[in-house]
Amino acid sequence: MEENFIPYHREDPTADEMVERSQNFYNKLDKRRSVRVFDSKPVPKAVIENIIMAAGTAPSGAHKQPWTFCVLSNGELKSKIREAAEAEEYENYHGRMSEEWMNDLKQFGTDWRKPFIEIAPWIIVVFRKTYDLNGDQKMKNYYVQESVGIACGMLITAIHNAGLVTLTHTPSPMNFLTKILNRPVNEKPFLLLPVGYAAADASVPDLQRKSLEDIAVFYE
């Protein structure tokens, strides 16, 4: 064993256990939906801390963990972000998005208004660290997009597991987030996720997910 290595504690489930566990996990994840209408009901900070710690277990290039999760519940900051996001989205929905893109979005009923940014009790803005800064010294990060994308997937899974909802909001361009949240030059905004309870009357589009045959090719 390498000097800095420690033994890995295996679980060693039986084949039957694995089939059952994986089926149960899939059933649970299959209930996840992106929800755009939130309740303002408070969510304990401890839940948000736990889901961020869960996201932080993601693998990353050279274990650089090139992410910062900015968590806000402050009403003034939320309003500023909503205002800036809506200004960009207004432009997107009034000419910046192609006709094909607008058509693809029709079934989701989205528009430039983003009230969830103010209504959801928590907003998480994920930043990717294009490099690390140690004083003036720049240190390389690797596979930053992939690493942060994986961490966001785990974050979304953790939110769902906690019994809450979210949606992946990517206002475009999103550099206003760097300014409002006063982030350093090595950080770039990646994704904005409102987190909270779904509104009592929330509804979601009747989407179908692709089948296994549609998404997987087995070479046995």
Alpha-carbon gap, residue 217 to 198, rounded angstroms: 36
| Minimum distance of ligand IYR from residue 34's CB (angstroms) | 8
Q: In the complex with ligand IYR, which residue's Cβ is closer, 54 or 204?
A: 204
Q: In the complex with ligand IYR, which residue's Cβ is closer, 66 or 116?
A: 116
**Residue numbers at the binding site for ligand IYR (CB under 6 A):** 89, 92, 105, 110, 169-170, 172
Nearest to ligand IYR by Cβ — which residue? 110
* Contact between residue 40 and residue 121 where contact means Cβ atoms under 8 Å apart: yes
Q: In the complex with ligand IYR, which residue's Cβ is closer, 111 or 146?
A: 111
**What is the torsion angle, in degrees rounded to the nearest 10, for the CA atoms of residue 150, residue 154, residue 157 and residue 162?**
-160
Q: Where are the alpha helices (DSSP H) in the chain?
A: 15-29, 45-55, 75-91, 99-105, 116-119, 144-162, 176-180, 212-215
Residue type, 67: W
Q: In the complex with ligand IYR, which residue's Cβ is closer, 131 or 176?
A: 176
Instruction: Report the sign of the C-alpha dihedral through residues 67, 68, 71, 77, in that order.
Output: negative
| Minimum distance of ligand IYR from residue 53's CB (angstroms) | 27
Alpha-carbon gap, residue 180 to 123, rounded angstroms: 13
| Tokens linked to 13 | 């489930």
| Minimum distance of ligand IYR from residue 102's CB (angstroms) | 9
Q: In the complex with ligand IYR, which residue's Cβ is closer, 93 or 143?
A: 93
| Minimum distance of ligand IYR from residue 6's CB (angstroms) | 42
| Minimum distance of ligand IYR from residue 49's CB (angstroms) | 27
Query: DSSP label at 121?
Result: S
